[in-house]
Amino acid sequence: MDFRQRLHWLLRMALLVFILAGTAFLSAITAIRLAIHGREVEVPNLVGKSLPDAQNLLAGRSLEIRVADRVYSDLPVNYVVRQSPPAGMRVKVRQRAHVVLSLGPRQVAVPLLEGRSLRAARVELLRSGLQIGEISSVYLGDSAGDAVIQQDPRPGGGMASPRVNFLVSGGAREPAYVMPYLVGLSQSEAQRQLAPAGVKELKITPVQAPQWPRGTVIEQVPASGARLVPRAGAELRVAE
């Protein structure tokens, strides 16, 4: 075997060794990755589960549990309120899942808030650790505006929800009128028809409209049929 043939044989052997070594390296990396992922499991959803059920779910996936805290909630006592890691995350086996358990609904004595202003009721609720719920209003001539007429739950009792709902007085209802149709009337006649409504601010706007007789209302705001209250203004556009 001459030198050229020997060199060619050596190069072929070196290439073969390189290919075999590369294949072995890739196989080792793949095996390591499979081994690592083989030791990972998906965290189940524990929220809303009782503590024994949560423990069983985790034990079935070789995971452990740790109670991190307890808080008041609408869930029954010893039910999971929050969890970490979240459901669906992949973690290594034997890792701990931290859970927050429920102490059950918090029972709070409801203060008497009827007769107070809505602002004062808000302050008292905050002081009692409660929250304001739904607010409904009704017009009552014998009650001051923004006064609490009724509350739910009633004062003195316990409650599971931290919210208190109110029925609030809107005061006396402001008188209202139906806006009449004024287009085509003279300015003086239109003002006469608006007089019973007690409009405090009536704006007269002259408009170039040669097709209309001078002093005739050609447009009105608000439109005919709209609700008109005394404190609200109105506008008449009059041909000049």
| pLDDT tens track for 25-69 | 777 676 666 555 558 899 999 999 999 999 999 999 999 999 999
Q: Which two tokens stand for residue 219?
A: 């447009």
For the 118-169 domain, the top CATH level (class) is alpha beta
pLDDT (0 to 100) of residue 72: 79
pLDDT in tens, 203-218: 999 999 999 999 999 9
Where does the pLDDT of residue 161 fall: very low under 50, low under 70, confident under 90, or very high at 90 and above? low
Domain segments of the chain as ranges? 1-38, 42-102, 118-169, 177-239
Distance separating alpha carbons of residues 230 and 159, to the nearest angstrom: 45
CATH class, range 177-239: alpha beta
What single DSSP character describes residue 90? Answer: E
Mean pLDDT over all residues of the chain? 85
Which uninterrupted H or E stretch holds 217? strand 217-221
The model's pLDDT over 94-113, given as tens digits with 9 standing for 90+, comes to: 999 999 999 887 777 788 99
Supply 146's token pair: 């923004």
pLDDT tens digits along 20-31: 777 777 776 766
Averaged pLDDT for residues 167-194: 87
The rounded distance, in Å, linking the Cα atoms of 90 and 110 is: 45
Write down the CATH number for the domain with range 42-102.
Answer: 3.30.10.20
In tens, the pLDDT along 109-155 reads 788 999 899 999 999 988 887 888 889 888 776 677 789 989 988 88
Alpha helices (runs of H) in 112-216, residue ranges in sequence order: 118-127, 187-194
Are 118-169 and 177-239 the same fold in CATH?
A: yes
**Which residues lie closer than 8 Å to 20 by C-beta, 6 or more apart?**
none
